Amino acid sequence: MNERVAKEQLIDYFSNRIDLSESEKERIATAYSLIKLDKKKYLFEQGKRCVTEGFVVGGTLRVYYIDQKGLEHVLYFALKDWWVGDIASFFSGEPSALNAQALEDSWVLVIDPESKDNLFKEVPAIERMFRIISQKHLTVLQKRFLLTVSANAAERFQELIQRSPGIEQLVPQHQIASYLGILPESLSRMKKQMNKNQL
């Protein structure tokens, strides 16, 4: 993975959503920097200010929250072409509520708050696009929330593997369980039960 290819991937992502001139593309490319995040390394951590918003070029990250009881809750897995960040921390400077950790060696294009704000001012179309991206993220999170409160663990599991085929091979099972909001033991039992039923 090299910087030029990575940035082309990001420009493609943008170009599929809005019209950009060559100079705007150039401007965007300079605003982001490519970093390699080794397996188990963190992009940002709970309690500290999150000054990086990232676009995943390759690899996988898990974004999770540790509650008062010390339990981990996976909010989402960030795959290729996903955004990772803690918006509240990124823009308003409050401590991050989230951790973002690489599940495998990963490549991420990152930007800091000031650079992003400057980019917005110089390329208004980008700000418009991020307004739309925020709305999209909101609807995704809303669906996740509604599914969490209305479906049981087995139904949520079905939805996950249907929406992200191959996720089971990519992510350890205890982290799938954490995403589903159950314990690894419960997921293990659940899968056994599901196999029994389909026979």
Partner DNA sequence: CGCCGAGTTGAACTGAATCAAGAAACGTGG
Partner DNA sequence: CCACGTTTCTTGATTCAGTTCAACTCGGCG
- Could you list the residues that contact a copy of itself (CB under 8 A)? 65, 67-69, 71, 73, 75, 87-88, 91, 97, 120, 124, 127-128, 130-132, 134-135, 137-139, 141-146, 148-151, 181
Q: Identify what 88 binds: a copy of itself, DNA, none; CB under 5 to 8 Å per kind.
A: a copy of itself
Q: How far apart are CA 157 and CA 77, in angstroms?
A: 14
- Choice from 51, 129, 153, 170 touching DNA (CB under 7 A): 153
> What character string, x for contact with DNA (CB under 7 A) and - otherwise, covers 5-44?
----------------------------------------
Q: Identify what 185 binds: DNA, a copy of itself, none; CB under 5 to 8 Å per kind.
A: DNA
Q: Identify what 130 binds: DNA, a copy of itself, none; CB under 5 to 8 Å per kind.
A: a copy of itself
Q: Identify what 65 binds: DNA, a copy of itself, none; CB under 5 to 8 Å per kind.
A: a copy of itself
Residues 135-173 as b/e (b if ≥16 CB within 10 A, e otherwise) read eeeeeeeeebeeeeeeeebbebbeebeeeeeebeeebee
* Residue 172 within binding range of DNA, rule CB under 7 A: yes
Q: Identify what 192 binds: DNA, a copy of itself, none; CB under 5 to 8 Å per kind.
A: DNA
Q: Which residues bind DNA (CB under 7 A)?
A: 71, 152-154, 172-174, 181-192
